[in-house]
Amino acid sequence: MTEIDPSLRPGLHLDDDVAPPGQTVDGVITTPVGLDSAVVAGLEIKARSQWDYARRRFLRHRLAMLGLVGLVIIFGAGIFANYVAPYNPAEIDLNNLLHAPTTTAHHYFGTDNIGRDYFSRVVWGIRTSEEVGVFVAVVSSFIGLVVGAIAGYYGGWIDNVLMRITDLVLTLPALAILLTASALLGAGSQWRVSLILTLFFWTGLARVVRGIFLSLREKEYVEAAKASGAGDARIMFRHILPNTLGPVIVNGTLAVATAILTEAALSFLGFGIKPPTPSLGVLVSDAQTNPQQWWLTVFPGLTIVAIVLCVNFMGDGLRDALDPTQRRIRA
Partner 1 sequence: MPEPLLSIRDLAVEFRTDDGLVHAVDGITYDVFPGETLGIVGESGSGKSVSTMSILGLIPQPPGRIRSGTAMFKGKDLLKMKKRELRRLRGDELAMVFQDPMTSLNPVIRIGDQLGEAIKTHYPRESDDKVKERVIELLRLVGVPNPDVRYAQYPHEFSGGMRQRAMIAMSIANSPSLLIADEPTTALDVTIQAQVLEVLKTVQEKTDAATILITHDLGIVAELCDRVIVMYAGRIVEQGDVFTIFQNPRHPYTIGLMDSLPKLTEDEEWLQPIPGQPPSLINRPSGCAFHPRCFLSQGRARCREEVPERRPVDGGPEHTSACHFAEELIGRHSKFADSVGVS
Partner 2 sequence: MLTYIARRVLYSIPVLFVSTFLSFVFVSLAGNPTAALRANPRFSANTLHNIYLQNHLNKSIPVRYVYWLQDVFTHKLGKSLLTFQPIWPDITRTLGHTAQVIIIAETLAIILGVIVGIFSAIRQYSVFDYVFTSFSFLGFAMPTFWLALLLQILFVDIYLKWNVRIFYTSGLNSPNHGTWSLDRLQHIALPVMTLCIISFALYSRYMRASMLDVINSDYVRTARAKGLSEWRVVMRHVVRNALIPIVTVAALNLGGLFGGVIVTETVFTLDGIGYYFVQKLQNDDLYAVMAYLVVTSVIIIVFNLIADILYGYLDPRIRYD
- Answer whether 193's CB lies under 8 Å from 266's CB: yes
Least distance from partner 2 to the Cβ atom of residue 183, Å:
5
With 0-12 / 13-18 / 19 or more C-beta atoms within 10 angstroms meaning exposed / middle / buried, residue 115 is middle
Per-residue binding letters, 241-280, with partner 2 (x by CB under 8 A) = ----------------x---x--xx--xxxx---------
- The 8-class DSSP code of residue 326 comes to -
**Pick from partner 1, partner 2, none: which does 309 bind, CB < 5 to 8 A by kind?**
partner 2
Q: Which of residues 180-209 bind partner 2 (CB under 8 A)?
A: 180-181, 183-185
Q: Is the dihedral of CA 161, 167, 171, 172 positive or negative?
A: positive
Residue nearer to partner 2 on the CB measure, 175 or 225? 175
Using the minimum distance from each CB to partner 1, give the nearer residue, 45 or 73.
45
- Residue (171 or 325) nearer to partner 1, CB: 325
Complex with partner 1: residue 63 or 92, whichever CB lies closer? 63
Q: List, in order, residues 6 or more apart from 14 with CB less than 8 Å away.
A: none
CA distance 171 to 173: 6
Helix H or strand E segment including 28: strand 28-30
Which option in partner 1, partner 2, none does residue 33 bind, with CB closer than 5 to 8 A by kind?
Answer: partner 1
**Least Å from the CB of residue 59 to partner 2:** 20
Residue 7: CB atoms within 10 Å: 7
Alpha carbon 45 to chain centroid distance? Answer: 32
Applying the rule CB under 8 A, the residues between 25 and 64 that interact with partner 1 are 25-26, 30-34, 37-38, 41-43, 45, 60
Binding of partner 1 by 5 (CB under 8 A): yes
Distance CA 128, CA 131 (A): 5
- Residue with Cβ nearer partner 2 (250 or 261): 261
Q: How far apart are CA 135 and CA 260, in angstroms?
A: 10
Task: Assess 294 for contact with partner 2 (CB under 8 A).
Answer: yes
Binding site for partner 1 (CB under 8 A): 5, 7-12, 21-23, 25-26, 30-34, 37-38, 41-43, 45, 60, 328-329, 331
